[in-house]
Structure 1
Amino acid sequence: MEIKIVNIPKIEDPRGNLSVIEKEVVPFEIKRVYYLYDVPAGAERGGHAHKKLQQFLVALSGSFDVVLNDGKQEKTVTLNKPYEGLLITNGIWRELKNFSSGSVCLVVASDVFEEADYIRDFEDFLAISTQ
């Protein structure tokens, strides 16, 4: 499964820490940035895969689980540090669950939104991933 936890450079300072996501952190050109917040208790996000798009997820605040599936195996990664990100390549099904109160998920993407790049049905995903 092509996923990777990446350490984001952290500049520590008594006045507060600073982390920077630049081209050395993510292996793609950043074309879109968005964030999820105010996720109600018990709600889930994601539930899709991408044909081409790659993403880098960071828990800016709080924590959440990312359930990943490549069609052969499933893995759960908990994100809870603002100086660590999860790199998800294309062809990986992802679901975001168990959001803590006040959590914020930053998503850095390799391309702009394009509906045709999404695989939104898990059975379709499995059919494609086993080819």
Structure 2
Amino acid sequence: MQRQPSIGPSQTDRSAQDLAADAVHEAKKLLGAELALARRDLRRSAAALSRSAIAFGVAGVAGLAGIDALMVSLAVGQRRNHPARSTAVGLGLLALAAAAALVGRSALPRSPLPIAARIASDIEDVAQRVVG
């Protein structure tokens, strides 16, 4: 007579173990994908913030230089009749400052990073797959 091999864990236990292992494997893959997306979002956000900071810096410097040029035109205007050049330079620098400020404002990220909401949604999805 042949002996039948003994079955250690029951078939239902094995499938539950396989299901749990699959869920853990899927959760690891999902977490890796979320981390990659978060890194990409953070890089894009940092690049946008750096462009915005540079534009705001240019706006500040140009604004101060424009105010200085207008002050020079006021000082020169008291001595001469036509301080047009320094006034034009001052107004041009102020226009440059306004344009740079608009560029800096438009470069700011529009919405906060939705990383936490995505992770919570993914956790719910994995839990639903494991349970149902």
Q: Which TM-score tier does this pair reach, normalised by the shorter chain? A: under 0.3
After TM superposition, the score normalised by the length of structure 1 is 0.19
Q: Whose helix fraction is larger, Structure 1's or Structure 2's?
A: 2
Structure whose CA Rg is larger: 2
After TM superposition, the score normalised by the length of structure 2 is 0.19
Q: Whose strand fraction is larger, Structure 1's or Structure 2's?
A: 1
